[in-house]
C-alpha cells in the first residue's frame, strides 16, 4: 500500500465531529499519512507500509481501530526510518487492525501463571450520579487519591457511602474542589459543553504530537550498521539508544515498551515511596530494566544527573511540572545533556486553564464528551466508555513516534528536542478521524478470540501470557529481549553501548 498520495488530507483537529455528524471516518492510511506529514518525515517511507483490516472491530462509534493502527503504525514506521538512516535501506512495515486493537487492550489480556492478573481498579473507582443529575467519575486506584476523595466526601470506603455523599454535590462543584485538592475526578460533559470550555478552546487546532527544538547541539547520527544485515544479526533500529523512563500507569509506559521493542536500552526509574499498579508494571515492563531513585535525596539526584548525561531520550508522565520541581525537567535535561530528546505526557495539555490538572484516560473520556457520545450511539441511558483505554495507548505510541522523529532529526539537524503529547489532544485527534456507522453494535471480543496474537514468556513474576507487538518489520522484528521484572531489580546505571 502506498499512502503517500494522501499526505495532503490532514484531518481537522478541532474536535467538532459529534454524534450528529455524518457517519464517515478517515481511512487508516490517510490518518497515518497525516501524522507522518505533520512530523515532516520522508514521504517515501509511506510506500513501505501495509495496513490491513477496517473498523469496526470492537464495539465503538469512534474509529478506534483506525486510531490504533495509525498511531502504532507511525511508531513502527519511525523505527524503519531510523533503520534507513543507519543502513541506507528501508524495510517493510505492516500492521493489522485486529492485532493493533488487541495490543490496545494488552493489560486486559495479561495472564500471570495461567490465571488473571492483579486487579486494576479500586473498589470505589468509577461513575456516580451527582445531586444535580449529572455524572462524576472518580479515579481512586492510588491510595492517596482514594483517601483524598474520601476526605472531601467525609464518607466510608464503600460504593454506597460514596454514592450517598455525592448526591449532596453538584458535579462540577465536586470536580473543582477535588481537582484543587490534587485529586483526579471529572464531571461528565456532552461534546457541545466541552467545546465551549476554555480548555477545549486552548487546545483547538493543536496536533496530537508537538515536536519542538529547545536547545542547540551538533548533529548526532546513530552509529551506522552498514549495508548488510549479517554485520550484526542482533541489530535493531534503536540499538545503542538509551531511554530514561519516568512513567507510570499506561500511556508513558507503553511508549517505553515500544522503544524497547525496537532495541533501545530502556531504564525505568521509580521510587520506593511511590504507589504502583502491579498488573500494569508487569504488562508494560516488558523489555525494560528497572531501578529506584528518590529524587528528593541528594545522592539519588546526583545519580539521576549522571544518567541524564548518558541518555538519548527521557520519557516522563508525572503530574505537570512534577519533575521540573525536582530538577529533572526538559531544560535541566538539555543543559545536562545537549542533544537530549525529552518526551512529556500530560492529561489536558501544556496550555490552557487545565494545564496543571491531573487526569487519566477514563477521566479525559468523561470530561470531553466521549462517554456521552458512546452512550448515545449505543442507546444507553448511562455513560459508556470506549472498549479500550484508547487515549492511553494511542498516546503511548505517539510518544514513541515523537521520540523517534526527534532522534531522526537530531541525526541531521542536531539540537535538543521536546516532544509533547496529551490525552486530551489525542482525544481531539480521535474525534477528527470520524465516526463508524453501526460500530457500537459490534460484539466485544473475548481473549479466546485473539489467542493467535498471544505468546507465553517467563518473567520476574512467573509465566506470562501477553499480546505480541502488532507492528511487523521485515528485517528487524519487534520483540522484547528482557522480561518484566519487579520494580527496583536493577542498578541505576547504563549498560555498555
Asked whether residue 94 falls in the same domain as residue 132, the answer is no
Q: Is the dihedral of CA 84, 240, 287, 275 positive or negative?
A: negative
Q: How far apart are CA 415 and CA 417, in angstroms?
A: 6
Of 139, 164, 188, the residue that ends a domain is: 188
Of 162, 188, 214, the residue that ends a domain is: 188
Of 170, 188, 206, the residue that ends a domain is: 188
Q: Give the neighbor-by-neighbor strand order of the sheet with 126-129.
A: 126-129, 135-138, 185-187
Model pTM score: 0.94
Paired sense of beta strands 242-246 and 210-215, if any:
unpaired
C-beta separation of 391 from 426 below 8 A: yes
pLDDT at 327: 85
Residue 265 included in any domain: yes
Q: Give the neighbor-by-neighbor strand order of the sheet with 115-116.
A: 115-116, 111-112, 462-467, 454-459
Q: Kindly state the cell numbers that stand for 396.
A: 503511548
C-beta separation of 334 from 311 below 8 A: no
423-450 pLDDT tens trace:
999 999 999 999 999 999 999 999 999 9
Asked whether residue 259 falls in the same domain as residue 182, the answer is no
Residue 497 included in any domain: no
Residue 2 included in any domain: no
Asked whether residue 419 falls in the same domain as residue 459, the answer is yes
47-84 pLDDT tens trace:
999 999 999 999 999 999 999 999 999 999 999 999 99
pLDDT in 10s for each residue of the chain, 497 residues: 433 322 223 333 333 333 334 447 999 999 999 999 999 999 999 999 999 999 999 999 999 999 999 999 999 999 999 999 999 999 999 999 999 999 999 999 999 999 999 999 999 999 999 999 999 999 999 999 999 999 999 999 999 999 999 999 999 999 999 999 999 999 999 999 999 999 999 999 999 999 999 999 999 999 998 665 445 668 999 999 999 999 999 999 999 999 999 999 999 999 999 999 999 999 999 999 999 999 999 999 999 999 999 999 999 999 888 888 888 899 999 999 999 999 999 999 999 999 999 999 999 999 999 999 999 999 999 999 999 999 999 999 999 999 999 999 999 999 999 999 999 999 999 999 999 999 999 999 999 999 999 999 999 999 999 999 999 999 999 999 999 999 999 999 999 98
Asked whether residue 76 falls in the same domain as residue 158, the answer is no
211-242 pLDDT tens trace:
999 999 999 999 998 665 445 668 999 999 99
Please state the domain count of the chain.
Answer: 2
Look-up of cell digits 452512550: 375
Rounded CA Rg of the chain: 22
Q: How far apart are CA 281 and CA 273, in angstroms?
A: 15
Asked whether residue 144 falls in the same domain as residue 255, the answer is no
Asked whether residue 209 falls in the same domain as residue 261, the answer is yes
Asked whether residue 179 falls in the same domain as residue 317, the answer is no
Q: How far apart are CA 51 and CA 25, in angstroms?
A: 16
Residue 252 included in any domain: yes
List residues with catalytic annotation: 392
Residue 9 included in any domain: no
| DSSP symbol at 434 | B
pLDDT at 79: 98
Residue 113 included in any domain: yes
Asked whether residue 212 falls in the same domain as residue 300, the answer is yes
Q: Provide the β-strand partners of residue 95.
A: 51, 471
Asked whether residue 83 falls in the same domain as residue 163, the answer is no
Asked whether residue 437 falls in the same domain as residue 304, the answer is yes
Q: How far apart are CA 341 and CA 82, in angstroms?
A: 15
Look-up of cell digits 531544560: 331
Asked whether residue 239 falls in the same domain as residue 163, the answer is no
Q: Provide the β-strand partners of residue 291.
A: 269
Q: How far apart are CA 389 and CA 426, in angstroms?
A: 12
Residue 493 included in any domain: no
Residue 10 included in any domain: no
Closest CA to 181 of 142, 136, 134, 147: 147
| Angle in degrees, CA 341, 346, 352, rounded to 5 | 115
Segments forming the whole domain that contains residue 210: 28-119+198-473
Q: Kindly state the cell numbers that stand for 303.
A: 545519580
Asked whether residue 293 falls in the same domain as residue 355, the answer is yes
Amino acid at each position: 500500500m502506498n499512502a503517500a498520495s494522501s499526505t495532503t488530507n490532514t484531518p481537522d483537529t478541532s474536535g467538532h465531529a459529534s454524534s450528529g455528524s455524518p457517519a464517515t471516518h478517515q481511512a487508516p492510511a490517510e490518518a497515518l499519512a497525516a501524522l507522518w506529514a505533520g512530523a515532516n518525515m520522508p514521504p517515501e517511507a509511506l510506500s513501505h507500509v501495509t495496513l490491513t483490516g477496517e473498523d469496526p472491530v470492537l464495539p465503538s462509534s469512534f474509529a478506534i481501530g483506525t486510531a490504533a493502527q495509525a498511531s502504532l503504525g507511525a511508531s513502527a514506521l519511525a523505527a524503519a526510518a531510523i533503520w534507513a538512516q543507519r543502513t541506507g535501506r528501508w524495510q517493510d512495515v505492516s500492521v493489522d487492525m485486529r492485532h493493533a486493537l488487541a495490543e490496545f487492550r494488552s493489560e486486559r489480556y495479561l495472564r500471570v501463571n495461567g490465571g488473571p492478573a492483579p486487579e486494576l481498579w479500586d473498589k470505589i473507582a468509577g461513575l456516580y450520579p451527582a445531586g444535580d443529575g449529572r455524572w462524576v467519575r472518580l479515579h481512586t486506584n492510588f491510595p492517596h487519591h482514594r483517601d483524598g476523595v474520601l476526605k472531601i466526601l467525609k464518607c466510608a470506603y464503600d460504593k454506597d457511602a460514596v454514592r450517598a455523599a455525592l448526591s449532596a454535590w453538584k458535579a462540577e462543584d465536586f470536580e473543582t474542589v477535588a481537582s484543587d485538592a490534587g485529586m483526579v475526578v471529572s464531571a461528565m460533559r456532552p461534546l457541545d459543553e466541552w467545546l465551549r470550555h476554555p480548555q477545549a478552546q486552548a487546545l483547538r487546532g493543536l496536533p496530537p504530537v508537538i515536536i519542538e527544538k529547545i536547545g542547540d547541539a551538533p548533529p548526532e547520527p546513530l552509529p551506522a550498521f552498514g549495508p548488510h544485515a549479517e554485520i550484526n544479526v542482533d541489530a535493531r533500529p534503536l540499538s545503542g539508544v538509551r531511554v530514561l523512563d519516568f512513567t507510570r500507569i499506561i500511556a508513558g509506559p507503553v511508549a517505553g515498551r515500544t522503544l524497547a521493542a525496537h532495541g533501545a536500552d530502556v531504564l525505568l526509574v521509580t521510587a520506593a515511596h511511590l504507589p504502583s499498579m502491579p498488573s500494569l508494571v508487569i504488562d508494560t515492563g516488558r523489555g525494560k530494566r528497572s531501578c529506584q531513585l528518590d529524587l528528593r535525596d541528594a545522592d539519588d539526584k546526583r545519580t539521576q544527573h549522571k544518567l541524564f548525561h548518558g541518555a538519548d531520550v527521557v520519557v516522563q508522565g508525572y503530574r505537570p511540572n512534577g519533575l521540573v520541581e525536582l530538577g529533572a525537567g526538559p531544560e535541566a535535561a538539555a543543559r545536562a545533556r545537549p542533544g537530549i530528546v525529552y518526551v512529556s505526557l500530560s492529561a489536558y495539555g501544556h496550555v490552557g486553564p487545565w494545564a496543571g490538572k491531573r487526569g487519566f484516560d477514563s477521566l479525559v473520556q468523561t470530561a470531553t464528551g466521549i462517554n456521552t457520545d458512546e452512550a448515545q450511539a449505543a442507546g444507553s441511558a448511562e455513560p459508556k466508555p470506549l472498549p479500550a483505554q484508547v487515549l492511553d495507548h494511542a498516546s503511548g505510541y505517539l510518544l514513541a513516534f515523537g521520540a523517534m522523529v526527534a532522534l531522526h532529526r537530531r541525526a541531521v539537524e542536531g539540537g535538543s528536542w521536546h516532544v509533547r503529547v496529551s490525552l486530551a489532544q489525542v482525544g481531539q485527534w480521535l474525534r477528527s478521524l470520524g465516526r463508524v456507522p453501526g460500530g457500537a453494535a459490534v460484539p466485544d471480543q473475548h481473549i479466546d478470540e485473539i489467542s493467535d496474537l498471544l505468546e507465553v514468556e517467563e518473567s520476574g513474576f512467573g509465566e506470562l501470557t501477553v499480546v505480541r507487538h502488532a507492528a511487523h518489520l521485515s528485517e528487524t522484528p519487534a520483540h522484547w529481549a528482557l522480561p518484566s521484572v519487579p520494580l527496583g531489580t536493577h542498578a541505576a546505571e547504563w549498560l555498555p553501548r
